[in-house]
């Protein structure tokens, strides 16, 4: 049971590149809760060819966003299996209709929002450069080429993938913001939004950790042995 004597129903939100993946995996390592990623869930359903997976794939193949009702059905169906666990939703709800639909079935206790400045995320996401012939990857921050824009071994020019180009990254961030701003406001009004701001995941994490200590039990060795 949660520290408050009942199960925790939590959501984590953060833009692409905000460190949400890293924080989520640390949360599940340290605390007794199930991490439910809508992306993983989608891939799993598409691989297994479930009815909803096949439906979702038709939208993805057309390059369309998956409609709210399909995403909601997918998530709620999975949550039915987790009634005995505390959980952390990741990637859902992404829109206001999804948040409202979730609310009809579950009361969300806490929404962890990672607030990392646009500029920092942009630098993070555009830091990757590739040497197309060899597939060598450079990262401006972690392993830069000796000469800017040039492959160390061949002297050939480096390129950026479409996904890593500044204009693509800015588009993605703006789309995320437009979609999730109403969701954040919705949870703010309910008084469950907890925002953690910063520029480095390692500096944000201790605050998230301390906050969750008040909400849900830590993982013990014993707990990890029992199924």
Residue-wise burial string across 168-199, b where 16 or more C-beta atoms lie within 10 A, e elsewhere: ebeebbeebeeebeebbebbeeeebbeebebe
Catalytic annotation present for 94: yes
pLDDT for 23-82, tens place per residue? Answer: 999 999 999 999 999 999 999 999 999 999 999 999 999 988 899 999 999 999 999 999
Backbone angles phi, psi at 67, to 5 degrees: -60, 155
Question: By residue range, what is the domain housing residue 178?
Answer: 9-214
pLDDT for 183-211, tens place per residue? Answer: 999 999 999 999 999 999 999 999 999 99
Query: What pTM does this model have?
Result: 0.88
- 225 lies in some domain: no
pLDDT for 85-97, tens place per residue? Answer: 999 999 999 999 9
Which member of 128, 165, 190, 215 is catalytic?
128
Number of domains comprising the chain: 1
Cα–Cα distance measured from residue 93 to residue 45, given in angstroms and rounded to the nearest whole number: 18
- 222 lies in some domain: no
CATH label of the domain that carries residue 22: 3.40.50.300
Which residues are CB-contacts of 91 (< 8 A; sequence separation ≥ 6)? 37, 38, 39
Catalytic annotation present for 172: yes
- 2 lies in some domain: no
Catalytic annotation present for 80: no
Which member of 136, 172, 190, 215 is catalytic?
172
- 226 lies in some domain: no
Q: What percent of the chain has pLDDT over 90?
A: 91
Annotated binding site for GTP: 17-22, 128, 137-138, 201
- 105 lies in some domain: yes
CA distances from residue 83 to 6, 76, 163, 198, 214 in whole angstroms, order as listed: 11, 11, 37, 33, 21
Catalytic annotation present for 20: yes
Residue 123 CA from chain centroid, whole number: 18
- 201 lies in some domain: yes
Catalytic annotation present for 161: yes
Q: Which residues pair with 9 in a beta bridge?
A: 87
Cα–Cα distance measured from residue 83 to residue 87, given in angstroms and rounded to the nearest whole number: 9
pLDDT for 3-14, tens place per residue? Answer: 446 899 999 999
């Amino acid at each position: 049971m949660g520290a408050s004597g009942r199960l925790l129903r939590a959501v984590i939100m953060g833009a692409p590149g905000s460190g949400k993946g890293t924080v989520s995996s640390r949360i599940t390592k340290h605390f007794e809760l199930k991490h439910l990623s809508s992306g993983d869930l989608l891939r799993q359903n598409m691989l297994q060819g479930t009815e909803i997976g096949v439906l979702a794939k038709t939208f993805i193949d057309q390059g369309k966003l998956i409609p709210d009702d399909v995403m909601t059905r997918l998530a709620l169906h999975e949550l039915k299996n987790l009634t005995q666990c505390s959980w952390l939703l990741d990637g859902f709800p992404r829109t206001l209709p999804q948040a409202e639909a979730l609310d009809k079935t579950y009361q969300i206790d806490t929404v962890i929002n990672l607030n990392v400045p646009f500029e920092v995320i942009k630098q993070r996401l555009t830091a990757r450069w590739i040497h197309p012939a060899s597939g060598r990857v450079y990262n401006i921050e972690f392993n830069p080429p000796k000469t800017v824009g040039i492959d160390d071994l061949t002297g050939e020019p480096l390129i950026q993938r479409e996904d890593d180009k500044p204009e693509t990254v800015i588009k993605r961030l703006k789309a995320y913001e437009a979609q999730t701003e109403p969701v954040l406001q919705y949870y703010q009004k309910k008084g469950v939004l907890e925002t953690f701001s910063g520029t480095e995941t390692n500096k944000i994490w201790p605050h998230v950790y301390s906050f969750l200590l008040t909400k849900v039990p830590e993982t013990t060795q014993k707990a990890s042995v029992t199924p």
